[in-house]
Amino acid sequence: MTDIRITDIWEYGEKWAEIYDAYPAHPSAADAEPAADLLAELAGAGEALEFGIGTGRVAMALSARGVRVTGIDASPAMLDRLAGKPGAEKISAVVGDITATRVTGLFDLVYAAFNTVLMVLTQDGQVACFANAAAHLRPGGHFVVEAFIPDFTKLAGTGADLVRSIDEDGAWLLRTRHDPMAQIISSESVYAGAGGTRRYPTTLRYAWPTELDLMARLAGFRLAERCADWHRGQLTPASRNQVSVYRLD
């Protein structure tokens, strides 16, 4: 991969679904528990909608806390994985695009975990995502966005290749390319093992928290809370992840 390759919205899920829950560099199910605690507090007795529900990593934990969860995802393969999990029958999930798809009803909480808003690859699309969240919320409802914070030192180069992990079965390699004007990071995780080589693409349009705040304001939100992680850790200049809670007034 020498150039930036822009993935289609369904492509990530179609490629990743088979290994999503096992990939070593992904947030684990353990990370989903504090996420579900925070989200359940915000949902209260109400209902939640997840943008990019994927295999249900967070949705399952939230549903287990008694919150009724609906989800939208571009990838039928990811939703198939979700549907195969015990307890998934309590979750209603549809194939759709988080920038445009409307599901029936109004919610008290909409959330997008693990960089899902950043998987929308244009600023207009991300703005539409905030507007779509607002359209699904009751007044006073919340939109929670988890998004990584870019690291200047790593973005500075035009590309990087690194080894993520190696064990006796094989190695995970990561290849990234960066377009600073489009704010696009395109990466490919490559697994090389005894069974051959498999490639898993991811493309993200990063946005600084201040840009996310502006998108939120355009949609009628105000920032209610921002922390470094789902445990409500304090955000610092060194933070590489953030969880923003926006309230619809």
Q: Is 52 in the site for ligand SAM (CB under 6 A)?
A: yes
Residue 55's CB is within 10 A of a number of other CB atoms, namely 24
Tell which one of 97, 179, 211, 213 touches ligand SAM (CB under 6 A): 97
Please name the residue that has the structure tokens 């198939």. Answer: 80
- Estimate to the nearest angstrom the gap between the alpha carbon of 184 and the chain centroid: 15
Contact 52, 78 (CB under 8 A): no
Q: Which residues 108-127 are close enough to bind ligand SAM by CB under 6 A?
A: 113-116, 119-120
Let me know how long the chain is: 249
The one among 91, 98, 128, 185 contacting ligand SAM by CB under 6 A: 98
Cβ proximity to ligand SAM: between 43 and 119 the closer is 119
Residue selected from 70, 75, 132, 203 as contacting ligand SAM according to rule CB under 6 A: 75
Contact 114, 53 (CB under 8 A): no
For the bound state, the minimum distance from the C-beta of residue 114 to ligand SAM, rounded and expressed in Å, comes to 4
Smallest distance, ligand SAM to C-beta of residue 106, A? 20
HSE-CB at 156 with a 13 A cutoff on CA atoms is 3
- Please, which residue, 99 or 189, has the CB nearer to ligand SAM? 99
- Least distance (Å) between residue 74 CB and ligand SAM: 4
Q: How far apart are the first and last CA of the chain?
A: 45
The yes or no reply on residue 72 touching ligand SAM (CB under 6 A) is: yes
Q: Is residue 58 near ligand SAM by the rule CB under 6 A?
A: yes
- For position 226 contacting ligand SAM by CB under 6 A, the verdict is no
Closest by CA to 241, choosing from 231, 223, 228, 224, is 228
Q: Who's near 30: CB < 8 A, 6+ residues apart?
A: none
Q: Does 62 bind ligand SAM (CB under 6 A)?
A: no
- Cβ closest to ligand SAM, residue 2 vs residue 72: 72
Provide, rounded to whole angstroms, the least separation between the CB of residue 227 and ligand SAM.
17
What residues have CB less than 8 Å from 151, skipping those under 6 apart?
240
Shortest CA distance to 42 belongs to which of 240, 241, 196, 232?
A: 232
Residues touching ligand SAM, count (CB under 6 A): 22
State which residue, 13 or 141, has the beta carbon closest to ligand SAM: 13
Task: Please name which of 17, 25, 29 lies closest in space to residue 74, comparing C-alpha atoms.
Answer: 17
| Selected binder of ligand SAM within 63, 70, 99, 183 (CB under 6 A) | 99
Which string of DSSP letters, residue by residue, matches 137-159? Answer: EEEEEEEEEEEE---HHHHSSSE
Q: Which residues bind to ligand SAM, rule: CB under 6 A?
A: 9, 12-13, 52-54, 57-58, 72-75, 78, 97-99, 113-116, 119-120
